[in-house]
Amino acid sequence: LNSTVHQTKIEFEEAICIICDKNNTHPAGEVVWRGNTLQYCVCGNCGLKFMNPRPTRDWYRNFYINEFWEDKFANRSWRGKGMFELLWRLLKGGVSGRLSKGRKRALQVVPEILSRKSLTSASKVLDVGCAFGMILEEIKAKTNATVYGVEPNDSARAEAEKRVGVEFIGRTAEDLVAITGMDGTFDIIIFSNVLENIVDPRPVLQAARRLLNNDGLLYVDTPNVFYYDAMNPYHPYVYSPTSLSNLLSACDFEILESVFEPPTDRENEGLPFNCKRPRFVTAYSRKSTRVNRIVHKFDSETYRKSALLSLQRYARIKSRN
Ligand SMILES: [Zn+2]
């Protein structure tokens, strides 16, 4: 088994709540990664769960360009080593394992999106964090729309360009902020399994709003803290239906529909892994026709749960390093 070549040690920065611009937080668990303890907290004002301190945006950018997919392809879990990881590599490992996982997900997500927004060959679709272009491949096959992507990793980009003809307009989600001359371009913008990875999602979502046309659909799915509390080194945020709604509202989106699974008994027992059912909260939004006031809906469930969480044994998970 290869050992990973890791970049320089993690650079950290302090975070405050992106919804309230406040620093009034309570501890809500931690994970250990590469010898660093990454702590989570919940905002006492709105209930948003986030990592603080967190690796800087520049650090993450290099990580996504150079290491993220390499770790995934090798099935090097951040969680640890041992028999479980060895078995996992044998069963699900390598590029083909990852691609088939991506394809399976695309086959779930794309019919859901297309049932809410019909596309023609004149349509334009953007997938932010498109990886190997699996979702775009499926959309293109069904509608012949023109497909655009944002993706940091070179091998993922090359694969998506070659197989699907994805045109890239950025490396990381933050690059959307600087794009000019494409306002009102897209019929659908997708953030699938991506928003939780973005260090500063507000300017990114505001840029997405600008790039979306007036009838455009914003699709977001992200791990649901109530279903699967996805604390891990890649996730500066773990959203709930309420905190996702607060964020979209703060970025002048209007949620048309939000889909999520209620908490399960299994989750209440503190068993976050190996869930069989979908783990995501999904929101379909459009541009709000007026500029929203930010509505702070206090997320009392996340707040309550996080207080319990810090006492639970899975809050600290040893990394293989
Ligand atoms: Zn807050």
The whole-angstrom separation of Cα 192 and Cα 133 is: 12
pLDDT band of residue 281 (cuts 50, 70, 90) is confident
93 or 20, greater pLDDT: 20
Query: Quick one: pLDDT at residue 221?
Result: 92
* Token digits of residue 169: 């307009």
Nearest to 247 by CA among 60, 13, 48: 48
CA of 45 to the centre of ligand 1 (A): 5
Query: Quick one: pLDDT at residue 259?
Result: 72
Q: How many helices (H) and strands (E) does the chain have?
A: 10, 13
Mean pLDDT of the chain: 82
Partners of 287 in the β-ladder: 253
Show the CA angle centred on residue 172, arms to residues 161 and 188, nearest 5°: 70
CA of 298 to the centre of ligand 1 (A): 8
Can you tell me the mean pLDDT for 299-306? 67
CA dihedral (209, 198, 53, 280) in degrees, to 10, reads: 100
CA of 27 to the centre of ligand 1 (A): 14
The answer to whether residue 1 scores a pLDDT higher than 70 is no
pLDDT band of residue 31 (cuts 50, 70, 90) is confident
Query: Quick one: pLDDT at residue 92?
Result: 60
Residue with tokens 């611009």: 21
CA of 15 to the centre of ligand 1 (A): 11
Which range, 21-30, 81-90, 134-143, 245-254, has the best average confidence (pLDDT)? Answer: 134-143
Can you tell me the mean pLDDT for 14-21? 92
Percent pLDDT > 70 in the chain is 74
Query: For the chain, how are helix, strand and coil distributed in percent, rounded to 5?
Result: 35, 25, 40
The answer to whether residue 42 scores a pLDDT higher than 80 is yes
Residue with tokens 């709930």: 240
CA of 296 to the centre of ligand 1 (A): 8
Beta strands in the chain (DSSP E): 12-13, 25-33, 36-43, 49-51, 54-55, 124-128, 146-150, 167-170, 186-192, 212-223, 237-238, 253-259, 280-287
CA of 247 to the centre of ligand 1 (A): 10
* Token digits of residue 208: 């997405």
DSSP secondary structure code for residue 224 in this structure? B
DSSP alpha helix (H) spans, 212-313 = 241-250, 265-268, 300-309
Predicted TM-score (pTM) of this structure: 0.84
The whole-angstrom separation of Cα 155 and Cα 69 is: 9
Can you tell me the mean pLDDT for 211-220? 97
pLDDT band of residue 318 (cuts 50, 70, 90) is very low
The whole-angstrom separation of Cα 104 and Cα 108 is: 7
pLDDT band of residue 91 (cuts 50, 70, 90) is low
The whole-angstrom separation of Cα 62 and Cα 7 is: 8
Query: Quick one: pLDDT at residue 84?
Result: 60
The answer to whether residue 2 scores a pLDDT higher than 70 is no
Give the lowest-confidence range in 77-86, 116-125, 207-216: 77-86
140 or 275, greater pLDDT: 140
